[in-house]
Structure 1
Amino acid sequence: MRALITGVNGFVGNHLAKYLQSQGIEVFGTTSQINGTDDVSNLNIYMNDLTSELSIIKLLNEIQPDHIYHLAGQSKVKESWDFKVATINTNVNLTLNLLEAARKSSIFDKVRILTVGSSEEYGRVNDMTLPIDENVSLKPTNPYGISKATISYFAKQYFDAYGLKVVHARPFNHIGPGQKQGFVVTDFSSQIVKLEKESGDKIIRVGNLEAQRDFTDVRDIVRAYYKLLMTASRSFGDVYNVCSGLPITINSILHKLLSFSDQNIEVVIDPSKLRPIDIPLYIGNNQKIKELTGWKQEFSLDTTLSDVLDYIRKQ
């Protein structure tokens, strides 16, 4: 079996490539820049930024992948406020190029495609105390969420209109070793590791600590993606949450990370780290993917946070 991962050099792409290889799958990847894949061996990388439909068709006809995992895109909510047009172009237009190319390629009848969205597609739901399931109306509150919601509609349309075998995943917060700056766990961990190496005042600067979020280890996330594409045809044209179903406060994340350090660190709120719009409670419902695939989490939160700190300490 062959798999193509777009954005293979990213945080999730690296973990997915390693997992697929562990399943005996030959892995190919596209990227717009060669970096971040040093720890994945036997990886077939192609320079392709997905801006040309014809070049994607040529690539698909050459590789003949059975699965396509579309991970390429702009993934930061905060950055989407500053670069709205670029976020829409990168997330929506490049996805359209890929879907059109797959539709027109020689692998149209066999290939299975996973488009990756986000819990940010849901935005503010009517009852924030309930776990969010896939039937909740989409009301995204930021440009990133709008871009991912648009992708979900196109994924459904390409299945309904053309029969393309597309599944759309909506992951909630995913964390783990190798995640870049700009995400809460990595930002906290990087500050802690830096303070461990410095003398003087030990102060960590943070944003809103009261928000509750649904965190899942990236290594569990990529297994869910694989299971979705390996599942029988009843998954095509549908949407699946990938999440833990458990709310964790950002404050709990921070103090758990601090407990793994021997430093006495003071916590200070930094207004520049606050979002223009923030939702106090966000919990996902994962029953649908569990019932379809049998997926369940294998990594505890403590293990994930410890692994993130250790990864950064070794850099």
Structure 2
Amino acid sequence: MNVLVTGGTGFIGRWVVKRLLKDKNQVWVLDNLANSSIKNINEFCENPNFIKFVQGDIKDEELLSNIFTLNKFDVCYHLAASINVQDSIDDPKTTFENDTIGSFNILEQCRKHHVKVVFMSTCMVYDRACNQGGISEIDPIKPASPYAGAKIAAENMALSYYHAYGLPVVVIRPFNTYGPFQKTGGEGGVVAIFIKNKLDGKPQSIYGDGTQTRDLLYVEDCADFVVSAGYSDEANGHIINAGTGIDISINELALLISNDSSAIQHVQHIHPQSEIQKLLCNYSKAQNLLKWEPKVSLKEGVKRTKEWIKSIKETHKEHEE
């Protein structure tokens, strides 16, 4: 297939590109590099099925029109977005323009050119699980941050294109994804940040009391899920979760990574109003519709992530020397 990946140089995006290339699809990547690096996809540039990287913005309607007109895409995996909750609270306009208006622009091009859309949403749209089996797609949503609000708005637009125009659309909600290529700084994920702190001999700072839980999904499992949604006709018109069905408290995660309770400190929460206390995924719909399930355990995933962060640190050290 001919496939466009927006946000394809980002953390999850580059793994999606890798999986698509492995499956012998022809891949185009569109990214404005605002929150990622071209280095993330350097290894794919020699692949004959990696057709083109376009540096550009999903808010640029003329650019989008040209890309879609010149290339006959079968599927668009739409991952480009502002993803930081605190940034959305500080600057809601930018998040709305990127995540809602930008997504609308993509939907319009896909409608005009009859291209299937896989829209990357987030577990941050949820309120809480209604039972012990974890959060399912029919559990209540709650726009507790402008990030979640912008994603819900874009989800609704995407599904409206399915119902109004018959456009093949899938909305996907992966839970907390971690792994190699994730940022280790303030905008990174908790696993990457904790591992870097451990390697740097720094304390693990935890927002609030640390009892909040996360369902941590390894990035290659996430990429398999994302790609599968694009391949499946049965998934069209659906919202689908992906996670592991196992959650861990932030306190337990910090201890797992640092092996030292004295290294853990609790700090005031910067956005307690947007906190989801228990994130546990019910992924039975993904199992049924996509025949997907996670393969990598948290222990193995943390090990792989730690090895990657170590290798990056060593490479930086060599360059400095």
TM over 0.5: yes
2:9, 2:99 → 1: CA distance? Answer: 16
Partner of residue 119, structure 2: 115
Q: Which of 279, 291, 295 does residue 282 from structure 1 map onto?
A: 279
Matched position secondary structure for 1:205: strand
| Displacement of 1:207 | 2.0
Pick one of 17, 38, 41 that aligns with 2:42: 38
State the TM-score, normalized to the length of structure 2: 0.88
1:14 and 1:40 in contact (8 A); partners too: no
2:8: which partner in 1?
8
Which residue matches 1:176?
A: 179
Q: State the match for 2:192 in structure 1.
A: 186
Counterpart secondary structure, 1:168: strand
1:199: which partner in 2?
none
How far the C-alpha of 1:248 sits from its partner, in A, is 1.3
Structure 2 counterpart SS, 1:37? helix
Give the structure 1 partner of residue 103 of structure 2. 95
Say whether 1:216 aligns with 2:211. no
**Percent identity of the aligned residues?**
25
State the number of aligned residues: 300
Quote how far apart the aligned CAs of 1:279 are.
Answer: 2.6
RMSD of aligned residue pairs (Cα, Å) = 1.9
Deviation at 1:274, TM superposition (A): 5.9
Aligned mates of 2:294, 2:140 — CA distance in 1: 26
Structure 2: how far apart are the matches of 1:264 and 1:56? Answer: 50
Q: Gaps (5+ residues) in structure 2?
A: 313-321
1:231 CA drift (Å): 1.2
Q: 1:92 touches 1:147 (CA, 8 Å); kept in 2? A: yes
Q: Is the 8 A contact 2:128 2:278 kept in 1?
A: no
Q: Which amino acid aligns with 1:296?
A: E
Aligned partner of residue 295 in structure 2, secondary structure: coil
Residues of 2 paired with 1:11 and 1:5: CA distance? 12
TM, length-normalised to structure 1: 0.89
Q: Which residue of 1 aligns with 2:315?
A: none
Post-superposition Cα deviations, 1:81-114, rounded to whole Å, max 9, x if no partner, equal 1121111111000000010112123xx1xx2210
Shift of residue 172, structure 1, vs aligned partner: 1.0
User: Counterpart of 1:193 in structure 2: which amino acid?
Assistant: L
State the secondary structure of the residue aligned to 2:44. coil
Distance in 2 between the 1:10 and 1:128 partners?
Answer: 34
Q: In the alignment, residue 210 of structure 1 is paired with which amino acid?
A: T
Give the gaps of 5 or more residues in structure 1: 196-201
Please report how far the alpha carbon of residue 240 of structure 1 lies from its aligned counterpart in structure 2 after TM superposition: 0.5
Residues in 1 aligned to 2:174 and 2:261: alpha-carbon distance in whole angstroms: 34
Out of 52, 55, 60, the position equivalent to 1:47 is: 55
Partner Cα distance (1:203, 1:251) in 2: 13
Letter matched to residue 244 of structure 1 = T
Q: For residues 136-147 of structure 1, what are the structure 2 equivalents within 5 Å?
A: 136-147=139-150
Q: Note if 1:308 corresponds to 2:312.
A: no
